Amino acid sequence: MPKIVFLPHAEICPEGKVIEVESGVSVCDAALEHGIEIEHACEKSCACTTCHVIVREGFDSLGEPDELEEDLLDKAWGLEPESRLSCQAIVDDEDLVVEIPKYTINQVSEKH
């Protein structure tokens, strides 16, 4: 079974976490099932950017993002070339290293 390494995040996962998951599950579902409370304001329907993650290792093992996901990612805070919406990033058979960004667009807009 592939592993997902979640890098430490000050609020969501301070120690970081390594989990084993079944292939075919989304990164978001895997995180939630293992107590990593990643934000998902649209209930995982690919309608927001709150579950944005950066895939530091294993990015190429994920399926290609569709046009809707790419359009939404353009609005994500802290976008990087390895950014994905975790609700749309489906684990294949390769291990992943995932970083949860410091902020989501919701958190940034709440501060201003």
Which domains, from first to last, does the chain contain?
3-111 (3.10.20.30)
- Phi/psi for 75 (5° steps) reads -100, -5
Q: pTM of the predicted model, to two decimals?
A: 0.91
pLDDT at position 46 over 90: yes
Instruction: With beta carbons less than 8 A apart as the criterion, state whether 25 and 8 touch.
Output: no
Q: Find all residues with CB under 8 Å of 29, minimum gap 6, and list them.
A: 44, 87
Average pLDDT over residues 11-18: 96
pLDDT at position 86 over 50: yes
Furthest C-alpha separation in the chain: 43
- Tell me how far apart the alpha carbons of residues 75 and 70 are, in angstroms, rounded to a whole number: 9
